[in-house]
Homo-oligomer: A and B are copies of this chain.
Amino acid sequence: MASPEPEFRSIVVSFPCQVQWGDCDPAGIIFYPTYFRWMDAATWALMEGVGYGPKRMREEHLAMPLVSASCDFLAPAEQGDRCEVRSRIQRFGGKSFAVAHEIVRADGAPLVAVLARGSETRVWGRFSKGPGSPMKGEPIPEALKASLRAK
């Protein structure tokens, strides 16, 4: 991600989720690694929305290993809170890409509460011989980029 690629004009995809009892810690609020679990699932959902679902990824030996991840926690969430992760491509490098995630409370209230803002940088890669075998980065297909672009 060294090259200063311009911001990508991306579609935004929503991944619904809910804070469960076991996602919370003794302070009674969400345990923060839960947000990263959600962001990971949201990235998979973003890709599924443009034709790269889990089945295809498995069959074509594709993977999206992480380069980095970060999150700012803006407001606490409690058990029962219905949320959604709104994800979009932030930028594309040659073999890598960054996803921006906004996690909001989705309870139908007119004002949406932003709970957290995160980002993941990932490589687009392929296992040489299926899961468990060595993996290396590949150029991101132009057709994939096109389908992630906002119309």
Contacts and interface: CB of A to CB of B under 8 A. Distances in A.
Nearest to A58: B132
Q: Interface residues of A: mostly helix, strand, loop or mixed?
A: mixed
A103 B7 CA distance: 31
B27 A33 contact: no
Interface residues of A, number: 44
A94 B134 CA distance: 35
A46 B72 CA distance: 22
A131 B79 CA distance: 13
Interface of A: 20-22, 24-29, 31-34, 36-37, 40-41, 44, 48, 53-55, 58, 63, 65-73, 76, 78-80, 127, 129-133, 135
